[in-house]
Amino acid sequence: MNAQAQQLDGGSFDVVVVGFGPSGAVAAALLGQAGVRTLVVDRTSEVYPKPRAIALDHEIMRVFQNLGLDKAIAPYCEPFTPSEYYGADGRLIKRLATVEPPYPLGHTPSMVFTQPPVEQVLRRHVQSLPFVRVELGQRFTGVEQDEDGATVHLEDAEGRRSAVRARWVIGCDGASSAVREAVGITLEDLEFDEPWLVVDVQVNERGLAKLPATSVQYCEPERPCTYVIGPGMHRRWEISLLPGEDPAFMATEEGAWSVLKRWIGPEDANLWRQASYRFHALVAREWRVGKVFIAGDAAHQQPPFLGQGMCQGVRDVANLAWKLRAVLEDSVTGAAAESLLDSYAEERREHVRRLTTRIKEIGAVICERDTDAALRRDAALIEAAGGQIRTVPRQDIIPPLAGGLLAPGQAASSGAGTLFPQPRVSGPTGPVLLDELTGNGWRIVTSVRFDLLPAGLPPLAERLGMLVCIPADTCTFSSGPHRMQANELEGVLQAWFARHGCCAALVRPDHYVYGTATSSAELYDLAVSLACRLEQTAHP
């Protein structure tokens, strides 16, 4: 055994993350940033050099912002163009796009990005964190659990074996997850299974002139396909394979050009990647077995029609990381609060199921193979739109959380389970996004003046996080112990409070709303109920 393997063997960590793709890197970054002793391992040593994921959204960019990486990642991102759906006879039948500014979370709601350099940014950041150790070229081979934690077994490229201890293990090791298999988690089939070809190209100016100016869903019975405008000159096609077509041949250059010829030829672009896939809709039946969790593609797979694959994985680890941190901290949600972790599976499994169902519904629109049925589909969609296709914001399709650590009796109509907005506000040196002032702990955000809040609320807020007040009648900025005052600049928060009929929100560390209140007294009761709930979780 070499010196590095000897040093790793017998090591002890709070968390071991298996897999250093986007989900694993974000998990390690969030944990390491919070001072959680983390080991992240991956069997490969380099970032995969070709694009796989192509879309991300404002929720994910907000996570990157909280890691201090949004500005480093932004150069590799561009706004997602509208997606236009054309039916069997070429008519426009549906249109998805982005809401107009000011943007609710402070970032462009839908984006395309180039995956390899974004992964490099994430990896460099993780490798710079003092609480994180990165070991590449290490293959996960098994895990054993006991009351105090887990022993993770690893093997390097030379066959040298090592074992490390951890309080918790997160399997972010992809669709064929060895962690998932090791703990006996099975996948539920949500009944979507189709062969498709994915082709990425870098077009030249000649090719660009031949292509649509917006992304397109060709809902054509003879061969459904998708055209996506990526950053710069990157273009992607997702093309359904027909019965009898050989997926292996279609993934060759000859096969790819045989279907791309409808749009461009070899003189118009260079092939970047071509691969045949079976698009699945799968979700894990369990997301936690003892000390072991799974996240990302290890826990779910969905068709790519809304570009949510990587986003779902980042949502998973953003949900789990703050709960692991809370369990490990000596606080009201302290070391005994392991039952808090049960809400991870409850929240994320249901969210994934609901979003996958909606993606399948979009897939059903795209993938109808019967011409008569497709024509009826087109007529129904046009009639439902009153004869004039309206643009639907992509983010309207993404559901809120339901159940888990949310205020009992509150529904999404009140704001509970939705993402709390991130308005631009007045900061000490000028306009900033709200998270830059508040951080990402527990927050109470209210338009009620400080002097009108119940006397017991500030000390209670101190136990939960930071109290934030954003009155509508001042442009000043001030802060004090566990409180902050800053005027919002574009009316985003004011509109959110009006839409949900409330004057305050209690916001979780992952920016989801625990609950809302219509008065200062109701806010106090909401905060008391949360404190009691967390204390009961911590001290069963």
Interatomic CA distance for residues 446 and 456, integer angstroms: 15
The one-letter amino acid code at 221 reads: P
Backbone angles phi, psi at 280, to 5 degrees: -115, 160
Pairing of strands 292-294, 161-171: parallel
- What architecture does CATH give domain 3-76+111-187+282-346? 3-Layer(bba) Sandwich (3.50)
Tokens 């826990």 correspond to: 299
pTM, entire model: 0.95
Structure tokens at 35: 């001072």
Tell me what pLDDT residue 193 has: 87
The one-letter amino acid code at 107 reads: H
Mention every residue, 6+ apart, whose C-beta is less than 8 A from residue 380: none
Structure tokens at 520: 């200062």
What are the strands, taking DSSP E only, across 325-464? 391-393, 424-426, 431-433, 442-446
Interatomic CA distance for residues 421 and 488, integer angstroms: 11
- DSSP letters, 1-28, are --HHHHHHTT-EEEEEEE--SHHHHHHH
CB-facing half-sphere around the CA of 24: CA atoms within 13 A = 32
Residue stretches of the chain with pLDDT short of 70: 1-6, 330-336, 471-481, 536-540
Rounded to whole angstroms, what are the CA distances from 425 to 327, 445, 458, 475, 483?
A: 32, 13, 22, 9, 15
Please write the tens of the pLDDT for every residue from 442-482.
Answer: 999 999 888 889 999 988 888 777 777 776 655 556 666 67
Structure tokens at 103: 């943007």
Interatomic CA distance for residues 52 and 198, integer angstroms: 9
Looking at residue 232, the DSSP 8-state letter turns out to be: T
Tokens 């609060």 correspond to: 337
Alpha carbon 190 to its chain's center: 20
Structure tokens at 535: 């204390």
Is residue 200 within 8 A of residue 273, CB to CB? The reply is yes
Interatomic CA distance for residues 292 and 226, integer angstroms: 37
Is residue 294 within 8 A of residue 349, CB to CB? The reply is no
3-76+111-187+282-346 and 412-538, same CATH topology: no
Closest CA to 62 of 525, 509, 506: 509
- Topology of domain 412-538, CATH: Glutaredoxin (3.40.30)
Interatomic CA distance for residues 173 and 142, integer angstroms: 13
- DSSP letters, 307-370, are S-HHHHHHHHHHHHHHHHHHHHSSSTT-TT-GGGGHHHHHHHHHHHHHHHHHHHHHHHHH----
Domain spans, the chain: 3-76+111-187+282-346, 412-538
- DSSP letters, 467-522, are EEE--TT---EEEETTEEEE-BSSSHHHHHHHHHT-SEEEE-TTSBEEEEESSHHH
**What stretches of 367-491 show up as alpha helix (H) in DSSP?**
371-384, 434-438, 457-464
Q: Is 202 exposed, middle or buried (0-12, 13-18, 19+ CB in 10 A)?
A: middle
- DSSP letters, 240-265, are EPPTT--HHHHTSHHHHHHHHTTT--
Tell me what pLDDT residue 336 has: 40
Neighbours of 38 (CB within 10 A): 29
Consecutive H or E run containing 266: none
